[in-house]
Amino acid sequence: MSADNEITPQSQDFSAWYNDVVQHAELADHSPVRGCMVIRPYAYRIWELMRDALDEQFKHTGHENAYFPLFMPQESLDREAEHVEGFSPETAMVTEAGGSELEEPLAVRPTSEAVIWPIVADWIQSYRDLPVKLNQWANVVRWEMRTRPFLRTTEFLWQEGHTAHATAEEAEEEARTMLGVYRDFMEDWMAMPVVTGLKTDAERFAGAERTYACEAMMKDDKALQAGTSHFLGQNFAKAFDVRFQSEEGEHEYVHNTSWGVSTRLIGGLIMSHGDDQGLVLPPKLAPHQVVIVPIWSDAEEKDLVMTVAQRVNRVLSRSVRVHVDDREHVSPGAKFYEWERKGVPLRIEVGPKEVSSQELVTVRRYAPEGRERKRTYGEGKAIAMVPQVLEEIQDDLLQAAEERREERSVRGMEDYDEFRQHIGEKRGFVYSGWCGDGECEEKAREESKGTIRVIPDPEFRSEDAPSTCLVCGDEATEEVLWAQAY
Ligand SMILES: [Zn+2]
């Protein structure tokens, strides 16, 4: 990270750009513990806005929030490991506490299936107790070797949904429903278009029968797995003996799902819309949707412009999140620069000139070609237009991200050598045929920089998908999406 206020241009070094934005937009700070991250207030507010929007959808789809402990006994991990390949190397263990060695070490949750199901098993007696649809907002710990703020950290915040159902069909439907909730959130709130689909066996969550994912293209043309939803089958039900009495009186194992999104979404937001000036926030997730910057040069002017600024603030704050930046010892230019760096969607400037002409200057953080970035309106009109302008900015950002993704996507690639070169140099999304054999997937993973991100859902598939496997040339059974991944 550079010590001055300069942000490294994306084209020069995307990774340095990312770190600069995280620092200069005051999103995160380092922790004395390697791999951990301090989420600063500005980024935490973005997380709160994300959380509120998602939480409403979780409740709307019939889920209840609960909270389960951070620690679990070693025995729960062992039981899980008998049935599913677990997280063991990534799991942090507490072996000492209260001044002495613990008789049984405690594990810090890397995810909570093994915390939740041994307990909830007792809540379920008969089919009448099903479905159980829980969610928790929590922190989890995974001992990661290589970490980056928001994208991969040892401790992170997330939500984890955990459900139990009487039938496999119902659980499958739940996993698909929540994938849809994630997709809608990412598109409608984050303005981040995603391709949804099924993970291959090599890429799915160890304990799952099927893993569905949302994959988004970042501005460096790499893919970010932004959310996953798992149909777990009866793997965890068997590990933790979660059974119910069916209508016919039989004792059966439940069918589970789990699904989660994390503070990684903030990384996705940064890399979907940010530019060389810094962060660009979609209005729906901006802590301040509008910042008013009053401009004065003496006390008399200050009184005049502050009267107008406060009046505009009063009216606007009924419908949008607005902030008046009336700091004394910061120049207007420095304020403009700071709020641009922090991605505030719309700035309103009020100076003595605007006071006398009863006008306001509005400046968009993001304006595509064909829209004016800076416009001057009469005060009343400017105020009335703000909600509409914010909606436009939200739509413009989604549209720009969609167009960029389509420009950087190649469909129907059949030549393996061309693929290796393309995915290594140009990156982007590549759609191809695949025979379904894990060996072809593994070969391409070893020989190229790309991996299969998903077997796309029908609406993302090509009209004329190749009929042969990109890697071996045999008959293709699936169309797959390849990319370099975060
Ligand atoms: Zn093949």
User: What is the per-residue pLDDT across 250-295, written as a single tens digit (0 to 9) for each?
Assistant: 999 999 999 999 999 999 999 999 999 999 999 999 999 999 999 9
Please state which of the ranges 74-78, 126-130, 279-283, 362-366 shows the lowest mean pLDDT.
74-78
**Percent with pLDDT over 70 in the chain:** 99
Write phi, then psi, for 296 (nearest 5 degrees): -145, 160
Instruction: Indicate the pLDDT class of residue 61, thresholds 50, 70 and 90.
Output: very high
* Distance between CA atoms of residues 294 and 460, nearest Å: 47
User: How far is ligand 1, taken at its centre, from the CA of residue 38, in Å?
Assistant: 45
Ligand 1 centroid distance, CA of 419 (Å): 14
Mean pLDDT of the chain: 96
The span from the CA of 306 to the CA of 310, in Å, is 6
Q: How close is the Cα of 443 to the center of ligand 1, in Å?
A: 9
Q: Domain spanning 14-273: which superfamily? A: Bira Bifunctional Protein; Domain 2 (3.30.930.10)
* pLDDT tops 90 at residue 60: yes
CA 469 / ligand 1 centre spacing (Å): 5
Residue 1: the pLDDT is 41
Ligand 1 mean position, distance from CA 23 (Å): 44
User: Can you tell me the distance from the alpha carbon of 285 to that of 300, in angstroms, rounded to the nearest whole number?
Assistant: 36
Alpha carbon of 468 to ligand 1 centroid (Å): 8
Location of each CATH 3.30.110.30 domain in the chain: 409-483
Q: Residue 145: is its pLDDT beyond 80? A: yes
Residue 459 has pLDDT above 70, yes or no: yes
Q: Give yes or no for residue 2 having a pLDDT over 50.
A: no
448 CA distance to ligand 1 middle (Å): 15
**Residue 265: which residues within 8 A CB-CB, separation 6 or more?**
50, 186, 190, 226, 227
- State the Cα–Cα distance between residues 190 and 285, nearest whole angstrom: 7
Contact 358, 308 (CB under 8 A): no
Identify the band that residue 246 occupies on the pLDDT scale cut at 50, 70 and 90.
very high
The answer to whether residue 5 scores a pLDDT higher than 80 is: no
pTM: 0.96
Burial of 277 by CB count in 10 Å (0-12 exposed, 13-18 middle, 19+ buried)? Answer: middle
Residue type at 160 in one-letter notation = E
Mean of pLDDT values over 109-137: 97
Which amino acid is located at 43 in the chain?
A
281 CB-side CA count, 13 A: 28
- Say how many Å lie between the CA of residue 146 and the centre of ligand 1: 32
Which tokens sit at 409? 């996507």
Spacing, Cα 437 to ligand 1 middle (Å):
6
Q: What is the mean pLDDT of residues 22-47?
A: 96
Question: Measured between alpha carbons, how far is 99 from 43 in angstroms, rounded to an integer?
Answer: 37
Q: How far away, in angstroms, is 433 Cα from ligand 1 center?
A: 8
Average pLDDT estimate for 474-483: 97
CA distance 349 to 336: 9
> How many whole angstroms from 183 Cα to the centroid of ligand 1?
30
Ligand 1 mean position, distance from CA 202 (Å): 14
CA 439 to centroid of ligand 1, rounded, Å: 7
Q: Residue 26 in contact with residue 46, Cβ under 8 Å?
A: no
For the chain, what is the total number of helices (H) and then of strands (E)?
A: 13, 23
What are the C-alpha distances in Å from 179 to residues 6, 258, 337, 457?
Answer: 39, 11, 38, 11
The strand ranges marked E within 24-131 are: 28-30, 37-39, 64-65, 71-73, 93-97, 100-108
Answer whether 277's CB lies under 8 Å from 340's CB. yes
The DSSP-derived string for 65-77 is E----SEEEHHHH
Task: Give the distance (Å) from ligand 1 centre to CA of residue 471.
Answer: 5
Structure tokens at 82: 């008998």
Residues 217-228, mean pLDDT to the nearest whole number: 98
Terminal CA-CA length for the chain:
20
- CATH H-level, domain 283-392: superfamily: Anticodon-binding domain (3.40.50.800)
Q: Compute the distance from residue 454 Cα to the ligand 1 centre, in Å.
A: 16
3: pLDDT strictly greater than 80: no
Give φ, ψ of 461 to 5 degrees: -75, 155
Each residue's pLDDT tens digit, 173-201: 999 999 999 999 999 999 999 999 999 99
Q: For residues 119 and 259, what is the distance between their CA atoms, to the nearest angstrom?
A: 19
Please classify residue 414 by burial: count the beta carbons closer than 10 Å to its beta carbon, then call 0-12 exposed, 13-18 middle and 19+ buried.
middle
Distance 233 CA to ligand 1 centre (A): 28
Alpha helices, H only, 290-378: 299-316, 332-341, 352-357
Calculate how far, in angstroms, residue 93's C-alpha sits from the geometric centre of ligand 1: 41
**Cα of 186 to ligand 1 centre, how many Å?**
33
Ligand 1 centre and the CA of 205: distance in Å? 23
Mean pLDDT of 371-375: 96
Distance, CA of 344 to CA of 366 (rounded, Å): 9
Ligand 1 mean position, distance from CA 477 (Å): 9
Higher confidence at residue 83 or residue 39? 39
- Strand-pair partners of 63: none
Ligand 1 center to residue 212 CA distance, Å?
Answer: 22
Q: What is the distance in A from the centroid of ligand 1 to the CA of 475?
A: 8
- Residue range(s) in the chain whose domain bears CATH number 3.40.50.800: 283-392
Q: How far is residue 120's CA from residue 325's CA, in Å, rounded to a whole number? A: 50
- C-alpha 410 to ligand 1 mean position (Å): 19
The class that CATH gives domain 409-483 is: alpha beta
